[in-house]
Structure 1
Amino acid sequence: MKLKSILLLFLIVLTFHVNAQEKNNKSNYYSDFVADENGNRLNDITVRVQGSNRTTKTNINGEFTIEAGEGDTIELSKNGVLINTYVYDGSSEYKIEDNSNRYISKTSKEPENDFLIQLDSAQFYKKRDPFKSIEFIENALKSQTSKRGNSINIANAYEVLGDVYVNLKQYDLAVSNYKTSLSNKSDTSVKLKLAKALTFEGDFNESNTILNSILNKKKTSLQKIEVYETIGDNYLNLKDYVNSETNFNQALTFAKANNYTQKVTILNPKLAEVSRLQGKVSEANMYLNNTIEVSKKATLNKRAAITNSVANQYRDQQNFDKEIELKKQTLQDLEAANLNKVNTEFEDDEEISVQQLNLDIGNAYAKKKSFTKAIGYLEKSKNDADKASDIETKKEAVEQLSEIYKNVGDYKKALSNYQEYVSLVDILYKKKEKEIEAAVTINKTLGEKQNRINSLEKDRELTESNYKLYESEQQVTVENYKRQRLIIYSLIGGLLLLLAAIYFMYKSNKQRRLANNLLALKSLRSQMNPHFIFNALNSVNSFIAQNDERTANRYLTDFSTLMRNVLNNSEEDFIPLSKEIELLELYMKLEHSRFKDKFDYKVEIDENLKISEYQIPPMLLQPYIENAVWHGLRYKKEKGFLKVAFHQKNEESICIEISDDGIGRKKSKELKTANQQKQQSKGMDNIKKRVAILNEMYSDKVDVFIEDLNTDSTGTKVVLTLKKD
């Protein structure tokens, strides 16, 4: 297969032959060539636009470029003798009978209009349908693959492609395509786009390098503002607040001088944030007040976005009264306009909804300990979110309501809201799983499309190289052995290009495989055995039924802490081993409170073990402990014992042993019903998948071994070896 690819590439290098006609609408220059009936290029032919003094001559390759427009009459002559004339009208071919006994044909293969139509369509669908836009760009590039001297067109196409990837938030691909555009044509606006994409990607230093390189270049007022604003953003992310403030102020000065009101309303909050981070609260509030004042003349959408943004900054300052005042103002504006939500009309196109505003106000009142007012706004947020099918906002509302009802002593409502919260979390997990699957599909599709476009660029580069090779052969008459040597060099160059393409494809596939593994890990981490959750809730319900309010409250508090920590850690690939031990101790405490007569437990940590040096995937050990309790100790007649021990194995790894003196794996399997034996434990299957993926990504970081604790098949011991990062 590789040999066929190399031979095909070799044939392309040797035989690819294209005639080109180019008309640049901006400069009105018309390029073409003159050849005889056998296709031999004719040099030193005088080309003149009739009725003007615009003349030129064909070069050694028969090519010429002259300032002309459609409808102009073109004269061809040789040594002062007129050959003939033709009207340039954009036709694909002209054939001219020569009165001086020379037959001349002048051929153009493809009109320029096709590229412009394709690129214009790509611009139109850039935000409406990004994938369709990419297809138009691909078609536009195909129309240019066989052309020569089309670097401006190529640059424009890759610029639009970069814009599409920015809209899709695929910033690494955007950076790559902006760089390709700049390699074909240096353009200040594209450099600015490249710098912004690098900022989004998190490469702040490279972004600043590019922005500083264009500071003294000619640019529009808006570009000046955006250059200084982006430099300020980069320094803010780098925590260099002095330089950040300097550049934001420079941008604000230009924005005010040129009446860019929208930029003024964007820059004032940024300066407020920098001032807040430097501890200059009064100065920050001055900027925020300026923002509110300027926004009064803005449209409802922009005013709502600005007021909401300023309110969030007051929240960061712990100024909850001001936050509540501004959030209520935005809420009143929306209700007066009979709207449930508005788009911000800014680049990120975020939405501000009534349910989110009510949630923010309720949270602010909760932080002020005004629980009665907080409950009112949170209940409204919950109801509005339910009507709008806004699961995320509803989840946050019921979680906060559960916490507040617990604080005010209404445990029944606290439990009711917490149960609803758990249900919503489950729905969100399923939704996120689908989003992850969709993201993987989209990334795969984008990768395939980008690979095709990269292939087109390589073909174009090969074609351009072929033209240059052809020119050099025409200009210098070389001997046969030199021509053969040049072919060998071309073959080697083609082979190197092919090897480079294979390398980049391998690298891309490796990165995609890593991304898929990370997505799979995130999906697996999001799963937790539901029967523990609902059994625990039943225990709480039982305590309440027995009027054991103190025990129910204590159990619910511990259970809430465990679940909150599990959910917080579910977004992390690794957490400190100390955190995992805290979670395990809390989990075992809860299980022990339910099965006090079944087992005791102990967590043993080697005093020489440096726990702080180790990281572990979250909830990796919990399923093994759960199995020990539910399948080993729970069925034991007498009281059992569960032990979790951590000790140093060697300098680079530790050993974690989970042992129980329960009935053992063999006896547990015998006790299962026929239906239970058909079903595989999702928790253990989850662990096996996670361990396999982790070992693939991190070179056998985790090793798990399970054996019977005693020779009579009673008891179980799980030995897990964890390597240091």
Structure 2
Amino acid sequence: MSKVAEDLSVSLDENDEAKIALNYEKLANEFLNNGDNAKAEEYFKRALNSYTKLKLTEDKSRVTRSLAKVQENQKNYDSAIKNYEVAGSLAKDASEEKINLNDANRLRNSANPASQTDYVDSNIELLKKEKKSKEITEAYVQKAQNSLNLKDKKVAIESYKKAIAYAKDKPEAVINLKNEIANVYASDNQFDKAININTKLLAEAVSKQDFNTQIKQLQSLASLYFKKEEPQKAVLSLKEAYHLASRKGNSAEAKRTLSELVEYYKAEGNEKESMALYEGFIKNLDQLIQSDTTLINTKKFQITEGKIRQLEKEKSLKDELITKKNTFNYFLIGSVILLLVLFVFIVKSLYSIKTKNKEIALQSLRREMNPHFIFNSLNSVNQFISENKELEANKYLTSYSTLMRDMMENSNKDFIILDKEVEQLKKYLDLEHLRFQDKFDFKITVDKNLDAETAYVPNMIIQPHLENAIWHGLRYLDKKGFLHLKFQLNDGNVKVSIEDNGIGLTRSRELKTSNQKVHESRGLNNTKERIGLLNELYKKNISFEIKEKESPESGTIVEIIFPLIDTI
């Protein structure tokens, strides 16, 4: 017990909850083996508390059952029943659950020994299947005690003998069970059988030099001899037990045996012998106490237990500090997480606002191109009317309205299908050709490797450059010019080329008025800004370049390159 208590002290000092739980349970079992049920209950409860903290269900089930047993030993049946039921609910299998429920029901029927028999027998069979020798022994003891309540001493003795068969590896338990059999024989006035059992136990203890067992068996023999009305033999047994206890330093048993002897001598009126025993005991008391290892061990254990109490208080304070620290840490972590979530939300909101602003700016830039296109178109209609070309004006307005409807439908889109873009651009070029038919011809070619029905192109990026090519390049030619719009697929990229043989960039700038130069500059900036916004929003890496053809041929080439886009 002292060794287990020391181990418990170490584990408490280390604050190792698993070892603490195990050592609490070990110490509880030591108290149980020594017959101290109250102390056993105290330490089983502490073990249960530790196993609960560790969330070890199997260990909780085992200790809860042990707790129920010590409560049953103390006749605290209500608590025992409750804990047997809890142990059953925690059991790992149906067999263990049934065993615990049987014990709970057995205690509920404590007033009816006959009904208890079925529960005990059921447990014995279940425990045999589980091969739990210690619990089988306990179950047979329960059966024996139940049989005694039913006045069936024969079954009681048989049950004790069966219990002995399962307790072969526990010498102390075997001795206790044999003493119980002796008590049954004694209660039935079969003193010789009882004396025979105690005599054999005494002989075994002598051969093993087990002095404590020798003392107890001598005391038991004395009790049997008194009942058998053989006082001389009883006194001899008591004197032998007293002298042995005194020699071996067992003060408690020496005192107990002395008390029985003194009572006998007083009853017999032999005061002289009684006083002689007292004097001898007092004379040797100091030496007896000094040599009594049980007192030393008890004192040592009391000191250790005091240390355990102190360490438990320290552990409780540590646990409280750790709990407070953890609470603060959780609060701190929670606050940080909340701040991070808030930060992410703000960043996301800002990004969303920024993205929305870019989308609005993109739409604004797209719509900025429409007034100029509308203005030029209306000028064309006005020109047709002034020249009394009503048919051409009507045809132009019809085509223009169709084009404007298509442009309006797609005005909120950043990318449109290539097929629709080509269709819109052709309508636009048809309109311009109707107006300047003696100034240029045009051609649109689409690479056969490009799927015009699935590929996307940036919306309203190409048309302004077609307009520039016609209005600032081809319009000023003395001869008929040519405009070529090409869509090519090259290494996963779509290349849009707008090539004309007009007067070229240099000559065009010389002929422009200051207002036209401002407009052209704004048109190019608009295109660049829209391409920049599209790249930021969609990460498409769209590039744009305008260059003049080298002499002797005049004209301009506009190239817009972007990756093949099949989903938006």
TM-score (norm: length of structure 2): 0.48
More helix by proportion, 1 or 2? 2
Greater CA radius of gyration, 1 or 2? 2
TM-score (norm: length of structure 1): 0.38
More strand by proportion, 1 or 2? 1
Structure number with higher relative contact order (C-alpha < 8 Å, ≥ 6 residues apart): 2
